[in-house]
Amino acid sequence: MNGKVALITGASSGIGRASALLFAANEYSVVAFGRNESELGALRDDSRELSGSVKFYLGDITEVSHVDRLVSDTIDSFGRLDVLVNAAGIIKSGNIQDTSLDDWDKMMNVNLRSAFYLTQKCVPHLVATKGNVVNVSSVTGTRAFPNVLAYCVSKAATDQLTRCTALELAPKGVRVNAVNPGVVVTNLHKRGGMSDGDYEKFLENAKNTHPIGRAGKPEEVADLIYFLASEKAAWITGATYEIDGGRAQTCAR
Ligand SMILES: NC(=O)c1ccc[n+]([C@@H]2O[C@H](COP(=O)([O-])OP(=O)(O)OC[C@H]3O[C@@H](n4cnc5c(N)ncnc54)[C@H](OP(=O)(O)O)[C@@H]3O)[C@@H](O)[C@H]2O)c1
């Protein structure tokens, strides 16, 4: 064990799960946060042979009391926090005319407000270790896409949250960066309402919309998250890193 502690939200699935396994494979003690107990239990089982450890913690990221307890229990258990990965997120399609206030609020709550509040609670502990934060944003934070309006806005705000927080915390020795993936094969879109058939077509279309010719894998994004959290990225802060098979370079089609 390297003695370092990483707190990862969205760890029960997709990018957060892949990140939890990678940090645990690199001797971190990982606190894996999510709501799905069986998926988090499976994650812990999958980490048993790794050099680090995974302890899971159940809760809803939008509940302030859950976040408060998550941070205080993490510090009580491990005595420190070195890395925060804000990966929890949801998507729902909708345009300027048909996005309900309820959907808008849900996406802002999970994707933005929760990351803000959890980061705020973690700051004193990250300052103590000169640790860092990696936010999972999206190519939709830097580019406009039709019919995912609220999601795009939540991710653009995540990018600015990243830059503002980085600026404020740099003098305290804490770095803050974001990754901006293109389409990655996870549960996100189906959970957001896409049917199996539509998801298959969406992934087929990703071969055209991503210049590299395919959608991404959660492990590829986890690699970048791990790099940004590592000492190798000691001079990188406030960055929003595209990892998208070139998606951000294309025009809408
Ligand atoms: N997949 C893509 O194409 C893509 C592209 C760009 C960016 N992203 C971003 O990547 C991040 C990870 O998404 P993913 O693709 O890995 O999706 P995913 O497989 O659906 O995972 C989403 C995670 O967020 C957690 N979550 C959602 N709402 C929550 C809540 N209220 N409280 C606690 N946890 C909650 C889920 O936990 P539970 O299931 O346990 O509730 C799950 O672990 C998101 O921020 C997403 O916006 C994804």
Ligand 1 centroid vs 171 CA: distance in angstroms? Answer: 31
Give the tokens for residue 42.
């499976």
Residue pLDDT tens, the chain, 253 long: 789 999 999 999 999 999 999 999 999 999 999 999 999 999 999 999 999 999 999 999 999 999 999 999 999 999 999 999 999 999 999 999 999 999 999 999 999 999 999 999 999 999 999 999 999 999 999 999 999 999 999 999 999 999 999 999 999 999 999 999 999 999 999 999 999 999 999 999 999 999 999 999 999 999 999 999 999 999 999 999 999 999 999 976 5
**Is-above-0.95 flag for pTM?**
yes
Question: Is residue 151 among the annotated active site residues?
Answer: yes
Other beta carbons less than 10 A from residue 172's beta carbon: 12
Q: Where are the domains of the chain?
A: 5-245
Q: What is the pLDDT of residue 2?
A: 80
| Predicted pLDDT of residue 253 | 59
Count of beta carbons in the 10 Å neighbourhood of residue 27: 14
What is the C-alpha separation between 100 and 21, in angstroms, rounded?
A: 36
Residue with tokens 């492990």: 219
Q: Output the ligand 1 site: residues, CB below 6 A.
A: 10, 12-16, 34-36, 60-62, 87-90, 110-111, 136, 138, 181, 183-184, 186-188, 191
In the beta sheet, which residues pair with residue 56? 32
What phi and psi values does residue 206 have, to the nearest 5 degrees? -60, -25
The pLDDT, as a whole number, for residue 1 is 73
Q: What is the CATH number of domain 5-245?
A: 3.40.50.720
Q: Which of 117, 136, 191, 199 to mutate to test the pocket of ligand 1 (most atoms within 8 A of CB)?
A: 136
What is the per-residue pLDDT for 251?
75
Residues facing 83 on adjacent strands = 6, 132
**Which H or E run includes 132?**
strand 132-136
